[in-house]
Amino acid sequence: MPSLIHRTLSALLAIAWISVANAESFEEEDLALAYGDKSTISIATGSKQSITRAPAVSTVITSGDIEAMGATDLDQALESVPGLHVSMVHVAMNPIYGFRGIATKYNPQVLMLVNGIPITNVFWGDRGQIWGGMPLENVARIEIIRGPGSALYGADAFSGVINVITKTAADIKGTETGVRVGSFNTRDAWVQHGGKMGTLDTAFYLRAGNTDGYKGVVERDAQSNWDTGLGSSASLAPGEMSNSRKAIDARADLSSDAWRFRAGYQKRELGVGMGVAGSLDPNSRGHSSRLYLDLNYEQANWAQNWDVSGVVGFYNNKEEGDPAYTLFPAGSFGGAFPGGMIASPGHSERHAHASVSAFYSGFEQHRVRIGTGYRVDDVYEVTESKNYDATGAPLPGLVDATGNPALVYMLPHKRNVTYAFLQDEWSLAKDWTLTAGVRHDDYSDFGGTTNPRLALVWDADYNVVVKVMHGTAFRAPSFAEMYNINNPVVVGSPTIKPEKITTDELAFSWQTSSDLQNNLNFFRYRMRDIILPVAAVYSNAGDQTGRGMELESTYDATGNLRLTGSYSLQHSRDSITGQDSGMAPHRRVFARADWRFAPLWHLNTRINYVAERMREPGDTRAKVPDYTLVDLTLRREKFADAWEMNAMVYNLFNRKAWEPTYMSVGATPIPGNPNTMSDLPLPGRTFLIQLQFNL
Alpha-carbon separation of residue 21 from 17, 138, 314 (angstroms):
6, 38, 56
- pLDDT value at 18 more than 90: no
Which pLDDT tens digit goes with each residue over 385-434? 999 999 999 999 999 999 999 999 999 999 999 999 999 999 999 999 99
Q: 32: which residues sit within 8 A by CB, 6+ positions away?
A: 556, 559, 562
pLDDT, mean of residues 130-154: 94
Average pLDDT along the chain = 92
The more confident residue out of 102 and 30 is 102
Q: Count how many Cα atoms sit within 13 Å of the Cα of residue 107 in the half-sphere of its side chain.
A: 32
- pLDDT value at 663 more than 50: yes
pLDDT, mean of residues 290-303: 96
Q: Count how many Cα atoms sit within 13 Å of the Cα of residue 169 in the half-sphere of its side chain.
A: 16
**Cα–Cα distance between 633 and 125 in angstroms, integer?**
35
Q: 526: which residues sit within 8 A by CB, 6+ positions away?
A: 501, 502, 543, 544, 545, 546
**Cα–Cα distance between 13 and 7 in angstroms, integer?**
10
Which pLDDT tens digit goes with each residue over 520-531? 999 999 999 999
- pLDDT value at 504 more than 50: yes
Alpha carbon 532 to its chain's center: 22
Which pLDDT tens digit goes with each residue over 333-385? 989 999 999 999 999 999 999 999 999 999 999 999 999 999 999 999 999 99
pLDDT band at 21 (very low <50, low <70, confident <90, very high): very low
Domain positions in the chain are: 3-694
**Cα–Cα distance between 254 and 587 in angstroms, integer?**
44
The more confident residue out of 618 and 684 is 684
pLDDT band at 305 (very low <50, low <70, confident <90, very high): very high
pLDDT band at 665 (very low <50, low <70, confident <90, very high): low
Q: Which CATH number fits domain 3-694: 2.40.170.20, 2.160.10.10, 3.10.290.10, 2.40.160.210?
A: 2.40.170.20
Exposed (0-12), middle (13-18) or buried (19+): which is 212, by Cβ within 10 Å?
Answer: middle
Cα-Cα-Cα-Cα torsion 136, 141, 146, 152, nearest 10 degrees, comes to: -120
**Cα–Cα distance between 287 and 245 in angstroms, integer?**
10
pLDDT, mean of residues 628-656: 95
pLDDT band at 29 (very low <50, low <70, confident <90, very high): low
Which pLDDT tens digit goes with each residue over 33-84? 566 678 888 888 888 889 999 999 999 999 999 999 999 999 999 999 999 9
- pLDDT value at 2 more than 90: no
pTM of the predicted structure, to 2 decimals = 0.94
pLDDT of amino acid 47: 82
Give the amino acid at 22.
N
Cβ atoms 327, 313 nearer than 8 A: no
pLDDT of amino acid 616: 93
- Provide, rounded to the nearest whole percent, the portion of the chain with pLDDT above 90: 86
**Cα–Cα distance between 667 and 58 in angstroms, integer?**
38
